[in-house]
A and B are shown apart, each in its own frame.
Chain A
Amino acid sequence: MLVALLIIGVFVTTIGPASISIKNAFRIIASRVPRLGAKVVKDWPKSHEVIVLKVRLPRVLVGIVVGAGLSIAGVSFQGLFKNPMADPYVIGISAGASFGATLAIVLKIGSPFPGIGGVPLCAFVGALVTSFAVYNIARVGRKVPVDTLLLSGIAVGSLLSALVSLLMILNSKDLYQILYWGMGSLALANYHDLLLSIPYIVLGMTITLIYSRDLNVLMLGEEAAISLGVNVEKLKRILLIAGSLTVAAAVSVSGIIGFVGLIVPHIARLIVGPDHRILLPTATLGGAMFLVISDTVARTVAPPTEIPVGVVTAIFGAPFFLYLLRKRKQQIM
């Protein structure tokens, strides 16, 4: 699957208004790979090189990283909440990130760190602070009942969304920027933002993968998991932190892209089954491919305008989601 991802990734850089041959695209990218580069003869137009490397490749890389991160968090949360409708934003992360980003746009918050934009930074912080708050609201002593966590996420999320809307109305000149960020796009980030977010995403993904077996056991129920030696409260905390880190970093880079974290886990589960040891890696790579393809569609379907990728994922996602619902209804009947 990894190979498929790589091939698709490079192939996609060839698609677009300016036509670039596949062979050239491969060679352009290869020329940048440290040791391979010297062997490639550089005989393509400079404009092609710019397009591939500076315009399209970043999007592809962002797509891979964000798609992977959202999907793995989606699988993790769906298991944690034992709810197939759970997505990575369910504990208020998206609302928190929106709020952070909106504040940054409206108040023109710059960032103290060179190379990181103010908006991504505030989005990241907003997302993490919100999930922390949601967790603590739902906490009863040392335990966190999963239902309460969901409700707490919804409540806090609604509040923050309302505040974002309020800010949008009060600052109508920033309206378009806020809205555009909210719909998600792979063009928002530059290499710098991406590189900074990668460690968090990779960390979150690694932690989640380590606990694959525990996630499997959790599927039998919390009581059964405890009787099998799983420290359930600790596991919940770990998965929530790992997931929040991953999603916060992803969202800070690309805005809120919906449906990826919701559908990809389900598709993966339909293909490889519920064993998280296989499911998690599959969803990760599948999510990366899905987002890269969606983004390609988003920027080529209606030239010269670009549809925000969140719209494309929703157009793919909503009918599939409805289909899933119908299947469930039929099973219950």
Chain B
Amino acid sequence: MLHPPLKVIALALLRVSGVSFAYDHKLVLDDISFQVSSNDFIGIIGPNGSGKSTLLKNLNRILSYQEGRVELDGVELSKIPYQQLACRMAYVGQDTQVTFAFSVEDVVLMGRHPHIRRFKGEGVSDWQVVRRVMEATRIAHLASRRITELSGGERQRVLLAKALAQEPDVLLLDEPTSHLDINHQLEFFDLLQELNTQQGLTVITVLHDLNLAALYCKKLLLLDQGSIFAFGNADEVLTRENIRAVYNTDVEIYQHPVNHRPQVMLLPKQRYRKVIGAQKDPQGDCLGCQTSPGECPGP
């Protein structure tokens, strides 16, 4: 159930210890350990193939890790029945394709599935929840439309509404805005932030966009080839050195003018590298000169 934030010492809501996971003998996650406290807003970042989505799916029994433990409130995941888990954790996956033409309100109502008893139907209270979340995600006007007719951004909000209809304590999202325009991206994350600060929802989201992650997330988990490279708040994790080590590229970090979060500035190879100090290759040649001989200012 959602509850207002409490000023108590945050206890570990979700504890991940020594988790390793392999798809068919290919190791994707290696000895992952970290803790999530109630009301956290965590962004999981890292290059493609670093195991971000896989880690997320190991947190709600979509995938089953082979080693280690994941505990929700001290209880190991595999000991929690699927239905009970779904009343506490909701998940919005990356793949938003729905091939069957359900109406929007039917899809959102499916979010109530874990709460509806098998031989009862949905009740008045279920529909109230559906209406509430549809208003929060601003899709109330789409209620009777077929989900197959909606645009990507609208569909994403429907899936978010469905997840919120589960009334979870923890919301897991896998790259929820990668294909959306910037205005919709901000709208989506503003909504998540509102849910996090005003209703105590714990959010764990996989993100591709480092700047978006730094802007909204209280903590960042940087993955590199299946292991945790760094875990902490944005200033600790988003550093030039970390990005160079994990992404193998040079960037500049600046402070966001409004909320002072670290933001990544990309550095195209030509023209800008020598401004900060050209890299030298093993032979001692200035790499800047090798790329644009006419513009080298000298060693």
Genuine A/B complex? yes
Tell me the A residues contacting B by CB distance below 8 Å.
82, 210, 213, 216-217, 219-221, 223-224, 226-231, 273-275
Q: Which residues 35-70 in B have Cβ within 8 Å of A in the complex? A: 57, 60-62
Number of B residues whose C-beta is below 8 Å from A? 32
Question: What residues of B have a CB within 8 angstroms of the CB of A220 in the complex?
Answer: 98, 107, 110
Mind listing 25 A-B residue pairs with CB under 8 Å? A82-B99, A213-B113, A213-B116, A216-B110, A217-B110, A217-B113, A219-B98, A219-B99, A223-B62, A223-B91, A224-B91, A226-B62, A226-B82, A227-B62, A227-B89, A227-B172, A228-B110, A228-B114, A229-B84, A229-B85, A229-B86, A229-B113, A229-B114, A231-B83, A273-B101
Q: How far is the CA of A100 from the CA of B172 in the complex (A)?
A: 50
Interface residues as binary, B146-175 with A (CB distance below 8 Å gives 1, 0 otherwise): 000000000000000001001000001000
- Specify which of A224, A226, A228, A274 lies most central, judged by the most chain B CB atoms within 10 Å of its CB: A228
Asked if B90 is at the interface of the complex by the 8 Å CB criterion, the answer is yes
Contacts of B126 in A (CB 8 A): none
CA gap between A219 and B98 in the complex, in Å: 8
Query: CB-CB < 8 A to B116: which residues of A?
Result: 213
Question: Hey, which bits of chain B sit against chain A, CB under 8 A?
Answer: 57, 60-62, 81-87, 89-91, 93, 95, 98-102, 106-107, 110-111, 113-114, 116, 118, 163, 166, 172
Q: Tell whether, in the assembled complex, residue B83 and residue A274 are in contact, meaning their CB atoms are under 8 Å apart.
A: no
A207 to chain B, nearest CB (A): 12
Q: Are B113 and A228 in contact (CB under 8 A)?
A: yes
Q: Given that A219-B102, A227-B91 are known contacts, is A210 also in contact with B83, CB under 8 Å in the complex?
A: no
Q: Closest CB of chain A to B69's CB: distance in Å?
A: 19
Chain B residue at minimal CB-CB distance from A277: B121
* Contact call B106/A231, Cβ cutoff below 8 A: no
Interface centre among B61, B81, B113 (most CB of A within 10 A): B113
Given A223-B91, A227-B93: 16 more A-B contacts, CB < 8 Å = A216-B106, A217-B110, A220-B110, A221-B93, A223-B93, A223-B95, A227-B89, A228-B111, A228-B113, A229-B82, A229-B84, A230-B113, A231-B81, A231-B82, A275-B102, A275-B106
Cα separation A125 to B91 with both chains bound (whole Å):
42
Bound state CA distance, A275 and B90, in angstroms?
Answer: 23
Is the pair B86, A227 in contact by a Cβ cutoff of 8 Å? yes
Once the chains are docked, how many angstroms separate the CA of A231 from the CA of B81?
8
CB closest residue in chain B, given A221: B95
> Please, which residues of chain A bring their CB within 8 A of the CB of B93?
221, 223-224, 227
> A222 — nearest CB in chain B belongs to which residue?
B62
In the complex, how many angstroms separate the beta carbon of B49 from the nearest chain A beta carbon? 19
Within the assembled complex, what's the spacing in Å between the Cα atoms of A220 and B57?
16
Residue in A210, A221, A228 whose CB lies within 8 Å of B118: A210
Nearest CB in chain B to that of A79: its residue: B100
A227 close to B90 (CB less than 8 A): yes
CB distance from A77 to the nearest CB of B (A): 15
Give the docked Cα–Cα distance between A227 and B174 (Å). 13
A226 B113 Cβ-Cβ under 8 A:
no
Q: Nearest CB to that of A141 among chain B residues?
A: B64
Q: How far is the CB of A169 from chain B (nearest CB, A)?
A: 43
Sorted nearest first, the 4 A-B pairs with minimum C-beta distance are: A229-B86, A229-B114, A227-B91, A229-B83
- Asked if A223 meets B101 with Cβ closer than 8 Å, knowing A228-B110, A228-B111, A229-B86, the reply is no
A213 to B119, CA, bound (A): 10
**Are A226 and B87 in contact (CB-based, < 8 A)?**
no
Say yes or no: A274 contacts B113, CB within 8 Å.
Answer: no
Distance between B175 CB and nearest chain A CB, rounded to angstroms: 14
Q: Which residues of chain B are near A228, meaning CB under 8 Å?
A: 86, 110-111, 113-114, 166
Once the chains are docked, how many angstroms separate the CA of A217 from the CA of B84? Answer: 16
Q: With the chains together, A310 CA to B114 CA distance in Å?
A: 42
Contacts of B101 in A (CB 8 A): 273-274
The distance from the CB of A82 to the nearest CB of chain B, in whole angstroms, is 7
Q: Shortest CB–CB separation between residue B128 and chain A, in angstroms?
A: 19
Judging by beta carbons under 8 Å apart, are B114 and A226 in contact? no
The minimal Cβ–Cβ distance linking A146 to chain B, given in whole angstroms, is 14
- What's the minimum C-beta distance from A157 to chain B, rounded to whole angstroms? 26
Contact across chains for A223 and B111 when beta carbons are under 8 A apart: no
Closest to B114 in A: A229
Nearest B residue (CB) for A143: B64
Q: A217-B113, A223-B93 are in contact. Are A230 and B102 (CB under 8 A)?
A: no
Contact A223 B110 (CB under 8 A): no
The closest CB in chain A to the CB of B61 belongs to A226
Smallest CB separation, B222 vs chain A (Å): 25
Least Cβ–Cβ distance between A118 and chain B, in angstroms:
40
**Contact between A230 and B82 (Cβ–Cβ < 8 Å)?**
yes
* Shortest distance from the beta carbon of B156 to any chain A beta carbon, whole Å: 13
Please measure, in the bound complex, the distance between the C-alpha atom of A217 and the C-alpha atom of B102, giving whole angstroms.
Answer: 11
Query: Closest CB-CB distance, B65 to chain A, in whole Å?
Result: 14
Report Cα–Cα, A103/B235, bound state, in Å.
75
Bound together, the chains give a CA A227 to CA B164 distance in angstroms of 12
Q: Which residues of B contact A274 (CB under 8 A)?
A: 100-102
User: Which residues of chain A come closer than 8 Å to B84, judged between CB atoms?
Assistant: 229
The residue in chain B whose Cβ has the minimal distance to the Cβ of A229 is: B86
